[in-house]
């Protein structure tokens, strides 16, 4: 009489054997004490595994996750609250203006208009200054080009072979340090 393979025993325990296969397996079990013992052993191991104690999750875990979520996606209630807060702020400033100055809504609108216009004028003036600075910078770059070309033109006759050699070695060293040094630093940062 051949015994069922261990894999078949596991399938039986997991309820994955059906029909004829299951009936044949159970018939063999009824007649084979060794297989019954083996099956019982496997069942105990399954019980032990499925009953492993849970890894404890602290009470504040969900709150900690929620605090890490990117950009609060505001709910419907949140949007209503935000609108209410905005309205309250506008009304509050109107009331404050009235209480402090004793003036009415028309005065407030006039003052708000004047403040807006001042802010707009200031922004326009600042932008104009920015454009002017950019124009000067571009002019400088334009003048610098021919000067650099001229400089490079007069440089070679002044360079002696020793100076050129030293410059080449220096350049090579700087290049080597930049490439391999950076890689080294990167590799160190990668270890953790």
**With CB under 8 A, what is the number of residues at the site for another protein?**
43
Q: How far is the CB of 176 from another protein (least distance, A)?
A: 28
Q: Which range binds another protein by CB under 8 A, 47-55, 121-129, 162-170, 171-179?
A: 47-55
Which lies closer to another protein via its Cβ, residue 16 or residue 26? 16
Q: Per-residue contact track with another protein, 151 to 180, x per CB under 8 A?
A: ------------------------------
Give just the sign of the alpha carbon dihedral 58, 63, 66, 67. negative
Contact 97, 103 (CB under 8 A): yes
CA atoms within 13 A on the CB side of 122: 6
In which residue are the tokens 């270890």 written?
Answer: 191
Q: How far is the CB of 90 from another protein (least distance, A)?
A: 25
Cα distances from 75 to residues 63, 81, 88, 172, in angstroms, run: 17, 10, 20, 60
13-42 residues near another protein, rule: CB under 8 A: 34, 37-38, 40-42
Q: Per-residue contact track with another protein, 58 to 97, x per CB under 8 A?
A: x--xx-xxx-xxx-xxxxx-x-------------------
Neighbours of 4 (CB within 10 A): 19
Contact 32, 3 (CB under 8 A): yes
DSSP code, position 178: I
Task: Using CB under 8 A, list all residues that contact another protein.
Answer: 5-8, 10-11, 34, 37-38, 40-58, 61-62, 64-66, 68-70, 72-76, 78, 192
């Amino acid at each position: 009489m051949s015994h069922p393979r261990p894999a078949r025993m596991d399938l039986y325990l997991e309820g994955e054997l059906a029909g004829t296969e299951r009936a044949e397996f159970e018939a063999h079990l009824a007649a084979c004490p060794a297989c019954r013992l083996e099956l019982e052993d496997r069942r105990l191991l399954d019980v032990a595994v499925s009953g492993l104690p849970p890894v404890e999750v602290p009470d504040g875990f969900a709150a900690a996750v929620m605090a890490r979520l990117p950009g609060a996606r505001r709910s419907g209630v949140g949007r209503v609250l935000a609108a209410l807060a905005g309205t309250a702020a506008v009304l509050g400033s109107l009331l404050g203006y009235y209480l402090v100055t004793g003036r009415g809504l028309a005065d407030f609108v006039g003052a708000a208009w004047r403040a807006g216009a001042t802010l707009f004028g200031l922004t326009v003036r600042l932008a104009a200054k920015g454009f002017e600075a950019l124009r000067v910078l571009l002019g400088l770059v334009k003048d610098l080009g021919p000067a650099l070309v001229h400089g490079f033109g007069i440089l070679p006759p002044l360079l002696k072979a020793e100076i050129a050699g030293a410059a080449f070695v220096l350049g090579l060293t700087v290049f080597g340090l930049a490439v391999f040094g950076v890689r080294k630093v990167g590799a160190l940062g990668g270890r953790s």
